[in-house]
Structure 1
Amino acid sequence: MSLLEARGLVRHFGGLRAIDGVDFDLAAGEIHALIGPNGAGKSTLVGLLSGRIPAQAGTIRFDGRDITRLPAHARVGCGIAYAFQITSVFPRLTTFDNVALAVQRTGARDLAAATEAALARVGLSGEAGQLAGTLSYGHQRLLEIAMGLALAPRLLILDEPTQGLASGEIESFMTLVRSLVPEVTVLLIEHNMEVVMDLAQRITVLNAGRVLARGTPAEIQADRAVQAAYLGG
C-alpha cells in the first residue's frame, strides 16, 4: 500500500531542470533510499515532498489526500517530518527543550513524558539537561531525529543523516532506523552506499532531475545504467 504518491513533479530554477517529470512512490512501513550523484535533484525532490519547495507541476498524495499545495507546516500536521542535512537544533536551549518544542505541536497530554520518550528512543536521556549547542555533532544529529520522532510522524525524511558520524555512531543510527519501521516509513537521502545497501528495502536513483532506476538494493547494484552514472561500475 502506497503511503505517498507523486506524479509528474517539476521544479526548475532558471534554466536548471532540478526535477523534471518525476514519479515517486513510498510504501507504508518501508525504508526507502533516494540516491544519485551531486546535483541529481535529491534535496529538491524531498523539498517538494515536504512542502519546503513548491512544485511547478505535478501532484503529491499522502495517504490518499492531495497535499500538493499544502505548506510545509501543514504537511507536518499530516504526519511528515523532515530532518535536515545540516543540523537545525536550537543551540541555546537544552536538549530536553528542543524536543519539547516539537512535542508541543502534537498536543500531547503529558509533555514531559512524551519528550522523555523521544529522547530515550535515540539514546539521549542522559543529555536532557545539556545545552544543544554543546552536544557533539553526532548527538546533535540524534537530537534532530528525536525532534522529528516527537512529532509522531508517519513519514520521517532523513537528509544525509550519517554525514560527519563516526563508524560506531553509524551502527547505532542504523539500529535506530530499523527500530522505527513499520510504524514509521523512512525516506533516506544518503551518500554512504554501505548504509544504503544495508538499510534500504527499496532504492530510487535520480540523475539530472529524472528517475534513472528503481528497485531493491540487489537490482540497483546490478543495474548498468546506475553503475555508469553513480556507482562507478
Structure 2
Amino acid sequence: MSALLSTRALSRSFGGLRAVHEVDLDLGPGEVRALIGPNGAGKTTFVSMLIGRVAPSSGRVLFDGQDITRRPAHARVRLGLAYTFQITSVFARLPVAENVALAARRRLGRDRAAVAAEVARTLGRVGLTGREKIAAADLSYGHQRLLELAMGLAQAPRLLILDEPTQGLSEPEIETFKALVRTLAGETAILLIEHNMGVVMELADRITVLDAGVVLAEGAPAAIRADARVQAAYLGTAADA
C-alpha cells in the first residue's frame, strides 16, 4: 500500500541549533500513528513542516505522491490535511455551531442544509450536542479542545494531525476521544502527538519516537514499550511537544 504522507530526510535548523535531522516517515491511509518524544525532541518543528508553518532547511514532504514541501498551509488543507493545535484555536466570540460551520463551508460551500447536517453530525461525534449556541469562549478548556477537533473533522480530512488532543480533558472526555479515534480508523489517517502514554499505547498502530531531532525508534506499541533506548530517553517521564 502506498503511503499517504511521506517525509524524506526532512531537516530543520535554527541558526546553529539542529531541531530536526533527516527524518524519514511513511504513514499509510487509515493508519493511526503516534509521534512521541521528550521535551525538545523536535516534534513541534517536525509537525510545523508537515502543515506548512515552517519551511524545511532540506528534505521533502510528500502527500499522496505529490511533493508539497513548498506549498503553503492553505493548499495542504485543500488536499485533505487538517491540524488541531496544541493551544486551542477556536473563534472565541462565535457560537459553537458557527465555529464548526466555518470549517464545514471550506468543503461544502454555501449549501446551508448540508452544512447544518455536518455541524450536527460532527458535534455529536465529539460529545458537544446541546452546546451549539454557546460562545466558544464560554466552554471549558476541555470542551474547546473537543470543538477544535470537531472543526478538523468537519473538513473530512484524509489526514488529521492531533497535537496533544487529550490535554485538559476529563477522564470521561478522554474515553469519548478514544472511542472517536476508533471510529475514525480506516476513515482517515491520524498522526497523534500525545503525552498520555496510555492513550498512545491503546490507539496507535505504530509509534515513531523522536529524540534530539532524529528518529530513535519506530514500531508497534509493544515493541516501543520494550525498547530500552526509548525507556531511557522518554517512557516514564512527562513530556510536552
| Both proteins in one fold, TM over 0.5 | yes
Residues in 2 aligned to 1:172 and 1:232: alpha-carbon distance in whole angstroms: 25
1:129-148 aligned within 5 A: 129-148=133-152
Counterpart position of 2:234: 230
Question: SS of the counterpart of 1:183?
Answer: coil
Identity of aligned residues (%): 63
Residues in 2 aligned to 1:144 and 1:71: alpha-carbon distance in whole angstroms: 21
5+ unaligned residues in a row in structure 2: which ranges?
none
1:22-171 aligned within 5 A: 22-108=23-109, 109=111, 110-171=114-175
Offset of 1:107 from its aligned partner? 2.9
Question: SS of the counterpart of 2:210?
Answer: strand
Residues in 2 aligned to 1:16 and 1:167: alpha-carbon distance in whole angstroms: 38
Counterpart position of 1:190: 194
Q: TM-score, normalised by structure 1?
A: 0.97
Residue by residue over 1:131-168, the C-alpha shift from the partner in whole angstroms, topping out at 9 and shown as x without a partner, is 11101111111100000011110000000011111112
Counterpart position of 2:221: 217
Residues in 2 aligned to 1:47 and 1:40: alpha-carbon distance in whole angstroms: 13
Residues in 2 aligned to 1:16 and 1:95: alpha-carbon distance in whole angstroms: 41
Offset of 1:125 from its aligned partner? 2.0
Question: SS of the counterpart of 1:124?
Answer: coil
Tell whether the 8 Å contact from 2:31 to 2:185 is kept in structure 1 after alignment.
yes
Q: Which amino acid aligns with 2:107?
A: T
Residue by residue over 1:33-83, the C-alpha shift from the partner in whole angstroms, topping out at 9 and shown as x without a partner, is 000000000011111111111111111111111111111111000000000
Offset of 1:232 from its aligned partner? 4.3
Question: SS of the counterpart of 2:234?
Answer: helix
Q: Give the aligned CA root-mean-square deviation in angstroms.
A: 1.2
Q: Is residue 5 from structure 1 mapped to residue 9 from structure 2 by the alignment?
A: no
Residues in 1 aligned to 2:64 and 2:147: alpha-carbon distance in whole angstroms: 27
Q: Which amino acid aligns with 1:172?
A: T
Offset of 1:96 from its aligned partner? 0.5
5+ unaligned residues in a row in structure 1: which ranges?
none
Residues in 2 aligned to 1:106 and 1:53: alpha-carbon distance in whole angstroms: 25
Residues in 2 aligned to 1:116 and 1:54: alpha-carbon distance in whole angstroms: 37
Q: TM-score, normalised by structure 2?
A: 0.94
Question: SS of the counterpart of 2:69?
Answer: coil
How many equivalent residue pairs? Answer: 233
Q: Which amino acid aligns with 1:177?
A: V
Tell whether the 8 Å contact from 2:127 to 2:176 is kept in structure 1 after alignment.
no
Counterpart position of 1:176: 180
